[in-house]
Amino acid sequence: MEISPLLSVHQLRRVLAYFFLLTYLVLLAITWDGIDFSSASRDGPLVFAFAVAVWLTYGLIYLLPAIFITWLVEKYVHREREIGHKAIFYPLAILSTGITTLFFFANAKLFTLYGIFINSFVINLVSTPGGLESLGASDASNATFAFIALGFLLLQAVLLAVTLFFYRKFGEPRWLPRRFFAGLLILFVIATVGERMVYTYSAATGITSITSLTQKIPYYLGISARSLLSKLGVKVDRKKSDYQLAKGNLNYPLNPLQVEKPAKPFNVVWLVSESWRADTLDAEIMPNTWAFAQNAKRFTRNFSGGNGTRVGMFTMFTGIPGNYWFPMLAERKGAPVIDVLKAQDYQMSFYTSAKFSYPEFDATIFSQVPSEQLHEIPGGAQGWEKDQQNVSNLLKFIDTRDRNRPFFTFMFFESPHARYYFPPESVIRTPYPDDINYFTLTREQLASQIHLIKNRYINSVHHLDSQFGRVFDYLKKNNLLDSTIVLLLGDHGEEFMENGRWGHNSAFTDQQIHTPLVLWVPGMKPSVYEGMSNHMDVIPTLMPLFGVKNPKRDYSTGINLLSDEVREHAVLAEWSSTAYIDNDVKIVMPLAVVATQHPLVTGADDRVLTAKEQDDLFARKARNLGGMMEELGRYISKQKSN
């Protein structure tokens, strides 16, 4: 539809101002559910006023780039005094504001479903080959997202068209004050400066009612002024600043590994499943695995090295905390256990139903494994189908191996990954949803349907058990259990709203980090270990069996699970945080000093604590946290490399 007459530059700027005002109102609507006004009101009028100020200013702050880009194009690209509706900044205004509103919607949806926001982890997920595929979104979910993205662009186009129509028909709204936008800008500056001053003081002095509120707001721009406030005589809370990661070069292992090849080296079958939580290892859901575990060593209180695949896999293969992932990725350094076995002429063949490129295992733990020994299944087959095919390929490898050399085979199973994959014959729990559409699922719907979604998960774990059973049967039939170490682990757990979240990667709750660990070593008596264990204990348990003579401190922070050592605490990590866990407490801390991240202290059972309980526990665990920092920095050398 042609619109005339042409607008002057001044009129166009007024139209764009009203258009951005309407977009701001859309952002207010999207972010409404992200602000916990109810808890803010319970914490007092100051906290409630802070929450309102954040809500009113937050959307406008992130709308500023779209405003600036549009203004820049209008000012420097088009210099004519009269500019029509076909000017480049019409579509530019629609595109920039559409991206902004879509970004806010995506953040709100991520937080609703998983308790996380778009961050460096999510960006890595999108940008790394195999990342988006790992989400397991259905065609319906992908189509829905595309429709929503187009919908936001269409919404912005409609808002601009409506603004143009009403401005040309009625001119300036007479019911608005003459200097409405100037007054709005003044109020914005006052509110922004005020709430950031409140936040800065709260962050420095440890007022958690304020700081905890902002941690639920994506990309909240907090300001840190601890040093300045300390100089002004303010008593600054030192909880965060006293615990910082060491900086330097990777020095791992501490000393070259000394290996004496065993006279009769063990074979190794290492099986890891995506999202396998501890409480599913029972006789009903996993009869084959349960029967196998009765004759092995089973660890009932095993914690992953983190709450996601990247750290879970990394810690079990390296024996060191997840914060070392980044320097090892930068140096393309692999797991030393692979070097040890390669030096002993092990035949190796590794399989995954996901991707070796996401997370970047082909550039970290398996970086020294030739690509022809890393097997993926291309195409769009479902997770359970890939698991079945990979097990067939794995068994074929063992069957056709050189009998005069030991073998090491690994497989990563995908069936229990959301959307949770299984064939009809694996159904043991009904009813369950046929599909999970991530982009239409509201928090209320998720809460009401989570038991049905969990039924899907249990069915997928039951299918996982059938594939484990194929491996057990083969090893028994071919008399290989007398010469083969078998490891069964989950990379991490999976939560089903027990603590308000679904999935993993969002918190260090037990459901997200508590995984099975079953270890079969030929000649070892069956037993059940009820003490704390951790993924980082796998390597110091295996290395002596492979002939490594070094003290375990050289290559791991874990303990030997076949010794009398007792683990008193565990150190876990995720993309940007680390967690200290013992029998009393969980303390989650940022891996780097970030203004909007603060220690989160809960009970060991994830119980929410009062502020006084948090302070008391934090103080009691100060020495333990120092030990944690030593583990996080043990393999970092402060000396500059030549």
In tens, the pLDDT along 198-220 reads 888 877 776 767 776 776 666 66
Single out the residue in 523, 548, 568 at which a domain terminates.
Answer: 568
Half-sphere exposure of 406 (CA within 13 A, CB side): 22
Residues 189, 312, single domain; the answer is no
Residues 108, 208, single domain; the answer is yes
In the chain, the number of structural domains is 2
Residues 186, 297, single domain; the answer is no
Residues 178, 215, single domain; the answer is yes
Q: Determine, yes or no, domain membership for 16.
A: yes
- Over pLDDT 70: what percentage of the chain? 84
Query: Each residue of 522-580: pLDDT tens digit?
Result: 999 999 999 999 999 999 999 999 999 999 999 999 999 999 999 999 999 987 789 99
DSSP state of 492: S
pLDDT attached to residue 152: 87
Q: Determine, yes or no, domain membership for 114.
A: yes
Q: Determine, yes or no, domain membership for 605.
A: no
Per-residue CA distances from 31 to 35, 57, 72, 93, 98 (Å): 7, 11, 27, 21, 15
CB 391 within 8 A of CB 377: no
CB 296 within 8 A of CB 519: yes
State residue 205 phi and psi, 5-degree precision: -100, 0
- Other Cβ atoms less than 10 A from the Cβ of 76: the count is 8
Single out the residue in 204, 231, 258 at which a domain terminates.
Answer: 231
Pairing of strands 484-490, 267-273: parallel
State residue 525 phi and psi, 5-degree precision: -75, 145
What's the rounded Cα separation, in Å, for the pair 633 and 106?
35
Residues 442, 542, single domain; the answer is yes
Residues 40, 167, single domain; the answer is yes
Q: Determine, yes or no, domain membership for 573.
A: no
Single out the residue in 506, 540, 568 at which a domain terminates.
Answer: 568
Residues 292, 169, single domain; the answer is no
pLDDT attached to residue 84: 47
Q: Determine, yes or no, domain membership for 2.
A: no
Residues 218, 255, single domain; the answer is no
Query: Each residue of 66-122: pLDDT tens digit?
Result: 888 887 777 766 554 444 444 577 888 899 999 888 888 877 776 666 665 555 544
What's the rounded Cα separation, in Å, for the pair 391 and 375?
11
Residues 302, 414, single domain; the answer is yes
Give mean pLDDT, residues 447-472. Answer: 96
Query: Each residue of 481-535: pLDDT tens digit?
Result: 999 999 999 999 999 999 988 899 889 999 999 999 999 999 999 999 999 999 9
Confidence of residue 7 (pLDDT cuts 50, 70, 90): low
pLDDT attached to residue 536: 98
Residues 124, 29, single domain; the answer is yes
Query: Domain of 562: which CATH number?
Result: 3.40.720.10
- Other Cβ atoms less than 10 A from the Cβ of 411: the count is 23
What average pLDDT does the structure give for the chain?
Answer: 85
pLDDT attached to residue 131: 44
Q: Which of 239, 281, 311 is nearest to 570 (CA)?
A: 311
Tokens representing 5? 């007459």
Q: Determine, yes or no, domain membership for 626.
A: no
Q: Determine, yes or no, domain membership for 585.
A: no
Q: Which of 84, 91, 85, 86 is nearest to 70 (CA)?
A: 91
pLDDT at residue 256 above 90? yes
Contacts of 437 (CB under 8 A, 6+ apart): 138, 140, 141, 144
- Print the domain residue range for 388: 249-568
Tokens representing 106? 């995506």
Tokens representing 458? 């249990």
Query: Each residue of 307-323: pLDDT tens digit?
Result: 999 999 999 999 999 99
Residues 25, 147, single domain; the answer is yes
Q: Determine, yes or no, domain membership for 116.
A: yes
Residues 168, 293, single domain; the answer is no
